[in-house]
Chains A and B, each alone.
Chain A
Amino acid sequence: MGSRPASADGVYLDDAVKTAAKILVVGHFAVGKTTFIGTMSEIPPLRTEEQMTQAGAHLDDLKGVPDKTTTTVAMDFGRITLSEKLVLYLFGTPGQERFVQVWEDMTRGALGALVLVDPERLKESFPIIDLVEQYGLPYAISVNHFDDTPIRPDSELREALDLLPETPIVTCDARDQKSSADALITLVRYLQTRTARSTT
C-alpha cells in the first residue's frame, strides 16, 4: 500500500509494465485540467501537439485548400503507474468541437472521461459534454470546488447539464491529490458498473 513503483519518480516506465490505459480529463478553457493532471501525475506533465484535420465549412480564409485543412492543438498529459504491469495516462483534452481529429484520436482507446466543470461557468461545459457524448465516451462530472465557492446542489447541476441519473457528480479541488484521486476513483467505479451491466 502506498509504495511507489520503482520507476515512479523517473522518466521511464518500469520494464515490467505491460499495459497502458488512458483516461481523458476534459473541460473548457481554464477549468483546471492542467492543474488536475499536474496534481496526479508522477512525472512532470508533458505537452505535445496533435495534428488535426477539420472540415472546411468555416475555413473560407484558406484559399485553395479544398474541403479540409489541418492545424495543431496542444494538449498536456501526465502518468500514473498503477501497478507493476499497468500504467495510466491522463490526457487533458481541449474542448473544441471543431477539433474532430483530435477527439477521435484521444477518445480511441480511452476508458472514459472526467469532465471538469466550473459551477460558475456551467454554460461553457455544455459543448464539452455534448462532445463527450457524441463520441460515446462514458464520463463522470467533477465539479470544481475552491474554498470560497458555494456548493451547488447536485440536482441543480444535473438538471442544468442534462445528465443521466446514473452519471456521477463529484466535487473536487484539483489542487488536492486526494480529492483529485477520489474523482478518478468515482469515474472508474462508474465505468465498472456500466461494464457489469452490459456484460450480464
Chain B
Amino acid sequence: MNGFRRRNQRADSSGPSEPAESPEQGGSFDPPPAPFDPASFDPPGPFESPAPFAPPAPFEAPGSFEATGSFEAGGSFEGFESFEPPVPPGPFEPFGVPGAVEPATPAPDEPLDLAEAAGSPGESPELVRPYVITNGRGLEGTEKFNLITLVTAADRPRPAHLDPEKHRLLDLCGGGMLSVAEIAGHMRLPIGIVKVLLSDLSTEGYLVVRPPVPRAQLADVSLLQEVLDGLQARFG
C-alpha cells in the first residue's frame, strides 16, 4: 500500500486487533468456549476478566447452545430491548422478530459481534449438545454447502425413523427454497451443525441442492450487471 496513516497508527497501537476503546474486544472473548468440536472439546477454561461491556440482558453464553431456542438474542437487531424468548423445541419458527426489518435506529448498540457472542461466561452445561444432534459426526462431507447454497426438500416421502432435527429441517425446507444461512437462522442451530444435517439428508436423497456461483463466475461481468440492475430496479 502506498500510504502510512492506517499502517502506522496500527503499528503504534498496542494491538491492531484490539483497539482499546472497542467494547467488543477487550480480550473478554478469550478464551472462547469450545462448544462444538468433539476432537478438541474441553470444558471452557478459566475465563478472563469479564467483558468491559456488560450486556444488560440475560444473554446466554455462546457455548450453551441447545438444539432449539438457544438464541435468546436472536432477532434483536435494534438494540438490547427486543430479546426473543427462548423458543420451545418443535416446529420451526420461520420468522425472526416481526418487524425487525424496519429501518432501525442508528444502532449505537448494535448487539452483534463479540459483545454478544461473549455473553456471560460460566453458563456452559450443555456444550456438546449440538454434536448429539449430528450423532457425533464431524464436518467431513459438508464442503458442498456454504452459507448461500440454496436448498429445498425433494419431493419424496421421508422415513419414519428420521432424527427429530432432520424432521425439523425437512419441515422447514419443505416450504420452499432457502439458503443454508437462513436454515440455520430459522432453526437456531450453528451453521456447522446445519451443514452436517444437510449433508446427510442430501446424500440420502431428501434434498435438492442448488450450488452457489462457481468461483470463476464471481467476477463475471454479467453477474455483476444483474446485481446492479436488480438493485437499481428495486431501490433506484
Contacts and interface: CB of A to CB of B under 8 A. Distances in A.
Contact of B148 (A22, A30, A58, A161): A22
Given A38-B102, A79-B182, A195 B112 contact: no
B36 A72 contact: yes
Contacts of B210: 18, 20
B190 A72 contact: yes
A31 B110 contact: yes
Interface string B1-21: 111111101100100110101
B191 A49 contact: yes
A55 interface: no
Nearest to A31: B110
Given A34-B107, A65-B42, A82 B94 contact: no
B62 A49 contact: yes
Interface in A94-131: 94-98, 105-106, 108-111, 121, 123-124, 126-127, 129-130
Interface string A10-53: 11111101111110000011111111011101111111111101
Contacts of B98: 44
Q: Across chains A and B, which 6 residue pairs bring their CB atoms closest together, nearest first?
A: A82-B230, A12-B176, A71-B32, A46-B185, A181-B235, A44-B96
A146 B184 CA distance: 34
A91 interface: yes
B181 A4 contact: no
Interface in B177-214: 177-179, 181-182, 184-186, 189-192, 210, 212-213
Contacts of B106: 32, 35, 146, 174-175
A42 B107 CA distance: 19
B224 A184 contact: no
Contacts of B146: 105, 108-109
B114 interface: yes
B225 to A, nearest CB: 7
Pick from A12, A39, A176, A194 the residue with the most CB of B within 10 Å.
A12
Looking at chain B, what size class is its interface with the partner chain? 35 or more
Given A69-B31, A177-B103, A45 B218 contact: no
A17 B177 contact: yes
B50 interface: no
A20 B150 contact: yes
B177 A191 contact: no
A175 B105 contact: yes
B56 interface: no
A97 to B, nearest CB: 4
A1 B7 CA distance: 44
A130 to B, nearest CB: 7
Interface in A166-200: 174-178, 181-182, 184-185, 188-189, 191-192, 194-196, 198-199
Given A22-B148, A39-B104, A162-B3, A72 B226 contact: no
Nearest to B29: A71
A1 to B, nearest CB: 6
B146 to A, nearest CB: 6
Contact of A45 (B9, B77, B177): B77
B20 to A, nearest CB: 10
Interface string A130-152: 10010000000000001000000
Interface in B60-94: 62-63, 65, 71, 73-75, 77-78, 94
A160 B8 CA distance: 10
B34 interface: yes
Nearest to B17: A97
